Amino acid sequence: MSELFPEYRASWETDQHRELRRHAAEFFRKEATPHQERWARNHQVDREFWNKLGDAGLLGLDLPEEYGGAGGDFGFSAVVAEELALAHDSASGWVVHSPIVGHYVNTYANAEQKQRWMSKIISGEAVLAIAMTEPGTGSDLQAVRTTAVRDGDDYVINGSKTFISNGTHCDLLVIVAKTDPSQGAAGISLIVAETNDELQGFERGRVLEKVGQHGQDTRELFFSDMRVPVKNLLGEQEGRGFYQLMDQLARERLAIASVCSGMAEAAVVEAIHYTKEREAFGKPLIGFQHNRFALAELKAEVLSIKTTVDYCVQSYIDGRIDSATASMAKLIAADKGVAVVDRCVQFFGGYGYMMEYPIGRAYAAARVNKIYGGTSEIMKEIISRSL
């Protein structure tokens, strides 16, 4: 719940959203906040955390009730994304699993695939990941080199991926691959690999040493003549992968924007608490006019981020979101959110640079928000096309 703005309520928030917010806040402060340092040392969350998320009903928020989901709107996901950040979590791969990859499966899987996978996704039995980025490609998804060549009833997949969130725990992996390299974007398909111990040719590479989000299991993945059944193709035909990715990017960017909003608010809350407790020259830090004015400005910045993101979430719920508007939400939330966290570190002095403090972990974790899900520069390019 918002500590900075206790009376704040987005236009899309119903009583159900508010109840979910209370439930998620309580769950994450119990099951995620206390474990951040241990998860960072282990470079992964506990596998059981995913089952706890499922038991708490936090993995199928806008997935169909027939498979165990809540059947809610995107606002349910926005609420949980924000509460994760407010709980100082930078380890969970929930955003990748639930509002992003879970929705790929729900949108593009056929009835048989949904019957196989959806209940496991919602319960936490199956952790999701998506393999887009490759060592030589970033935002340019048309340039992927991973290939999926049909051989009878299988695809034979070869290639490598990097920066894959949930790379350690993933049980279902959506792979972006070229089924017809001669067709450019029209030759890309999405194929789901069931990454159990019996899958030959699949290798989880090294855990990547990131600047922040140390508890997030981010890995390299390798495919060497890996055979995946043709029936695991997402969509009715090959060659639709690039367009499926583009259709889902607005959702991904809004989920990240919601996290950015929560991170910015959490940082300001921490700064206010600290400046009220820490003394210098015989009085609390907040007693100095410069600090009060700086915090006042930061509180206003957070409100501007929240209202921007909430406007775009409402647009998504109403079915009138477009790529440029979603990109504006991500651009503003990421850029301003990183700046807010950075300025909050200053109040803590040397302690703000220590990873044992939530503000230090937030500082290290926030920077990537301007990169993944499309860089800020890509967001500006997309927005510029609407001018």
The mean pLDDT of the chain is: 94
> What's the predicted TM-score (pTM) here?
0.93
Question: pLDDT digits over 15-37, tens only?
Answer: 999 999 999 999 999 999 999 99
Residues with a known catalytic role: 252
Question: pLDDT digits over 340-382, tens only?
Answer: 999 999 999 999 999 999 999 999 999 999 998 889 999 999 9
**Other CB atoms closer than 10 Å to residue 291's CB: what's the count?**
18
**Other CB atoms closer than 10 Å to residue 76's CB: what's the count?**
25
Question: pLDDT digits over 149-192, tens only?
Answer: 999 999 999 999 999 999 999 999 999 999 998 888 899 999 99
Question: pLDDT digits over 248-299, tens only?
Answer: 999 999 999 999 999 999 999 999 999 999 989 999 999 999 999 999 999 9
The 3-state secondary structure of the chain, one letter per residue: CCCCCCCCCCCCCCHHHHHHHHHHHHHHHHHCHHHHHHHHHHCCCCHHHHHHHHHCCCCCCCCCHHHCCCCCCHHHHHHHHHHHHHCCCCCCCHHHHHHHHHHHHHHHCCHHHHHHHHHHHHHCCCCEEEECCECCECCCHHHCCCEEEEECCEEEEEEEEEEECCCCCCCEEEEEEECCHHHHHHHEEEEEEECCCCCCCEEEEEECCCCCCCCCCCEEEEEEEEEEEHHHECCCCCCCHHHHHHHHHHHHHHHHHHHHHHHHHHHHHHHHHHHHHCEECCEEHHHCHHHHHHHHHHHHHHHHHHHHHHHHHHHHHCCCCCHHHHHHHHHHHHHHHHHHHHHHHHHHHHHHHCCCCHHHHHHHHHHHHHCCCCCHHHHHHHHHCCC
Listed in sequence order, the residues at least 6 apart from 133 whose beta carbon sits closer than 8 Å to its beta carbon are: 161, 162, 163, 164
- Give the separation between CA 88 and CA 101, rounded to whole angstroms: 23
Q: Which of 21, 119, 76, 56 is nearest to 251 (CA)?
A: 76
Q: What percent of the chain has pLDDT over 90?
A: 91
Q: Which of 387, 368, 260 is nearest to 313 (CA)?
A: 260
Question: pLDDT digits over 300-321, tens only?
Answer: 999 999 999 999 999 999 999 9
CB 157 within 8 A of CB 147: yes
Per-residue pLDDT at 51 exceeds 90: yes
What pLDDT shows up at residue 182? 86
What pLDDT shows up at residue 142? 74
Beta pairing class for 172-178 and 128-131: parallel
What pLDDT shows up at residue 139? 62
What pLDDT shows up at residue 135? 86
201: left (phi over 0), alpha (psi -120 to 50) or beta: left
What pLDDT shows up at residue 138? 63
